[in-house]
């Protein structure tokens, strides 16, 4: 009988936890090391003055990927005492949209209701909008196994069959042009074009430069639905931690890794910063750390993939966490206040790292769904604008960004909310980098602002070191909770193939 693998996972973000769960379920001895004081990576929470805030990702789609982890653990470890399955609520809408010209729209989950409301609000062509959404779904289903659910760098297993499966639809896919060009061609109505352009921001990209293939993203909301985890977004972290620990994963926090050790082309383990003389042995190491610090800090003696590391970073964010007095009936869980000139906003971010005087503002209010997240009669506002991944430059401009955000809210919603702020703290690119080691505070690793971006994300298996694997938002298939979970699946399936 073969000895079980000794596996180490570096970083307890969503992908690291998912990788640890999968490895432990298959019988590996797994130790997870996290530099921060608690697991979760970007997916953590903050409590202050009676308010609870989810610090990181705020949109929850594709919940089946977490249910899949539960099922995976139960199939492989039926004898284990596992936590109750993950639970969530499916919402009747995704987002409330607002424009300064007085237009607004509720994006209902029911497609017919969404199309009807858009037609009423903008005089949109209902059949074209319906066709646009349907095409997003067909494109997603045709390409998901190629671009999301397998490595783009390996040809073992089902890789070739996945490419064959797309052939019947290949001529209808948006291979060329930008997302904005695609949306403008098929929708024309400016408000709807801007609405569908914003899906480029799901991976921190500019719709006027990002490839039209990002047209698949709207299907996550309009086809698969928008959801809310019980306990808030941090409930995802708590569930994954409970599942990992029930499978025997040893989670070590306040334990920054100093170096990944290797010899003769094979990983041999890690050393920690607090005890660099002790080698912690492993024959598998999975890095859930950003690829920049993984190579620059943890593998400094290994030739780095410079072309990949030099890719343009995704956007970062400045997030204001405001406890707000009063309740605001026209807002819901997800709210977008659009800038008047989306192209100029992205040009400003590219040139100056900040969105200028008229930013697009995202407001998340989890107390709309989970009232315990705020005191009675109050709301917890997570207010975010996109900025460049440039900590030093953005940090000095936060007071100016705050003024522009408050002014934007007042102009668009007709409300001066500054006197209503009851509690406040702010997260910036510098804070994101310090908390999560995300290089320059980029939210999604590299951007997708070129046609080959999907192929230039770092691979999930090292070709230089046997036993070295990668997961998380800075590697294939990308950032965001669903893709991070898929990266863990891909990496661990590769471990099966190459171990």
Chain segment 389-422, per-residue pLDDT in tens: 999 999 999 999 999 999 999 999 999 999 999 9
Read off the pLDDT band of 169 (50, 70, 90).
Answer: confident
Q: What confidence tens digit (pLDDT) does each residue in 423-476 have?
A: 999 999 999 999 999 999 999 999 999 888 878 899 999 999 999 999 999 999
β-pair partners for 432: none
Q: What is the mean pLDDT of residues 332-351?
A: 98
How far apart, in Å, are the Cα atoms of 282 and each of 30, 220, 376, 397, 458?
A: 9, 37, 51, 45, 22
> What is the Cα–Cα distance from 234 to 382, expressed in whole angstroms?
14
Sign, CA dihedral 281-283-285-286, equals: negative
pTM: 0.96
pLDDT value for 156: 57
> What is the Cα–Cα distance from 486 to 472, expressed in whole angstroms?
9
Residue 264: CB partners within 8 Å, gap ≥ 6?
Answer: none
CB 32 within 8 A of CB 12: yes
Name which CATH class applies to 6-48+57-89+231-311+448-498.
alpha beta
Tokens for 250? 């040893």
From first CA to last CA, the distance across the chain in angstroms is 15
β-pair partners for 214: none
Read off the pLDDT band of 262 (50, 70, 90).
Answer: very high
Q: Cα angle vertex 386, ends 383, 391, to 5°?
A: 105
Read off the pLDDT band of 2 (50, 70, 90).
Answer: low
Read off the pLDDT band of 1 (50, 70, 90).
Answer: very low
Tokens for 51? 């308010």
DSSP helix/strand/coil, 221: helix
Average pLDDT score over the chain:
95
Read off the pLDDT band of 157 (50, 70, 90).
Answer: low
Residue 158 pLDDT greater than 60, yes or no: no
What are the sequence ranges of the domains in the chain?
6-48+57-89+231-311+448-498, 127-222, 315-436
| CA 67 to centroid of chain Cα atoms | 18
Helix (H) or strand (E) holding 405: helix 398-413
Q: What confidence tens digit (pLDDT) does each residue in 69-88 have?
A: 999 999 999 999 999 999 99
SS3 content of the chain, % helix, strand, coil (to 5): 40, 20, 35
Q: What confidence tens digit (pLDDT) does each residue in 176-204 have?
A: 999 999 999 999 999 999 999 999 999 99
pLDDT value for 338: 98
The number of residues making up the chain comes to 499
Q: What confidence tens digit (pLDDT) does each residue in 206-261 have?
A: 999 999 999 999 999 999 999 999 999 999 999 999 999 999 999 999 999 999 99
Tokens for 57? 């990702």
Helix (H) or strand (E) holding 391: helix 391-395
Q: What confidence tens digit (pLDDT) does each residue in 479-490 have?
A: 999 999 999 999
Dihedral angle, C-alpha 385, 241, 4, 9, nearest 10 °: 30
Read off the pLDDT band of 276 (50, 70, 90).
Answer: confident
Helical packing angle, 126-147 and 179-186, nearest 10°: 150
Residue 164 pLDDT greater than 80, yes or no: no
Q: What letter would DSSP give residue 296?
A: I
Residue 155 pLDDT greater than 70, yes or no: no
Q: What is the CATH number of domain 315-436?
A: 3.30.519
């Amino acid at each position: 009988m073969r000895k079980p693998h000794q596996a180490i996972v570096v970083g307890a973000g969503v992908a690291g936890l998912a990788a640890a769960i999968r490895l432990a379920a298959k019988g590996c001895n797994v130790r997870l090391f996290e530099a921060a004081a608690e697991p979760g990576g970007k997916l953590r929470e903050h409590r202050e003055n009676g308010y609870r805030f989810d610090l990181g990702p705020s949109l929850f789609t594709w919940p089946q990927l977490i249910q899949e982890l539960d099922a995976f653990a139960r199939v492989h470890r039926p004898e284990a005492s596992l936590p109750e399955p993950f639970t969530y609520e499916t919402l009747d809408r995704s987002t409330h949209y607002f424009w300064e010209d007085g237009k607004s729209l509720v994006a209902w989950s029911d497609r017919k209701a969404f199309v009807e409301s858009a037609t009423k609000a903008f005089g949109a062509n209902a059949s074209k909008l319906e066709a646009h959404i349907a095409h997003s779904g067909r494109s997603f289903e045709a390409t998901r196994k190629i671009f999301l659910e397998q490595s783009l760098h390996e040809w073992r297993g089902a890789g070739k069959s996945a490419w064959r499966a797309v052939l019947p639809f290949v001529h209808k896919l948006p291979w060329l042009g930008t997302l904005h060009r695609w949306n403008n061609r098929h929708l024309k109505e400016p408000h709807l074009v801007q609405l569908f352009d914003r899906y480029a921001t799901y991976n921190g990209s500019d719709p006027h430069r990002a490839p039209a293939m990002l047209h698949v993203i709207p299907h996550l909301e309009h086809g698969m639905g928008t959801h809310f985890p019980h306990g808030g977004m941090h409930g995802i972290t708590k569930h994954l931690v409970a599942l990992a620990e029930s499978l025997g994963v040893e989670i070590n926090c306040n334990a920054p890794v100093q170096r990944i050790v290797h010899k003769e082309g094979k990983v041999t383990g890690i050393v920690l910063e607090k005890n660099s003389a002790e080698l912690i042995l492993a024959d598998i190491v999975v890095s859930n750390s950003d690829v920049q610090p993984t190579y620059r800090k943890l593998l400094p003696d290994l030739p780095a993939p410079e072309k990949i590391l030099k890719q343009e970073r995704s956007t970062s964010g400045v997030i204001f966490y405001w406890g707000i007095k009063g309740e605001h009936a026209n807002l819901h869980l997800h709210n977008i206040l659009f800038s008047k000139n989306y192209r100029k906003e992205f040009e400003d971010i590219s040139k100056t790292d900040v969105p200028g005087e008229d930013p697009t503002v995202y407001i998340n209010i989890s107390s709309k769904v989970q009232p315990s997240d705020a005191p009675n009669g109050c709301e917890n506002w997570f207010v975010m604008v996109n900025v460049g991944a440039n900590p030093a430059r953005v940090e000095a401009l936060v007071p100016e960004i705050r003024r522009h955000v408050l002014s934007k809210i007042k102009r668009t919603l007709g409300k001066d909310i500054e006197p209503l702020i009851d509690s406040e703290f702010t997260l910036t690119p510098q804070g994101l980098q310090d908390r999560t080691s995300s290089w320059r505070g980029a939210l999604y690793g590299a951007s997708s602002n070129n046609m080959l971006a999907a192929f230039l994300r770092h691979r999930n298996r090292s070709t230089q070191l046997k036993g070295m694997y990668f997961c998380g938002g800075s590697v294939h298939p990308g950032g965001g909770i669903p893709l991070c979970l898929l990266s863990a699946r891909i990496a661990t399936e590769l471990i099966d193939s190459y171990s």
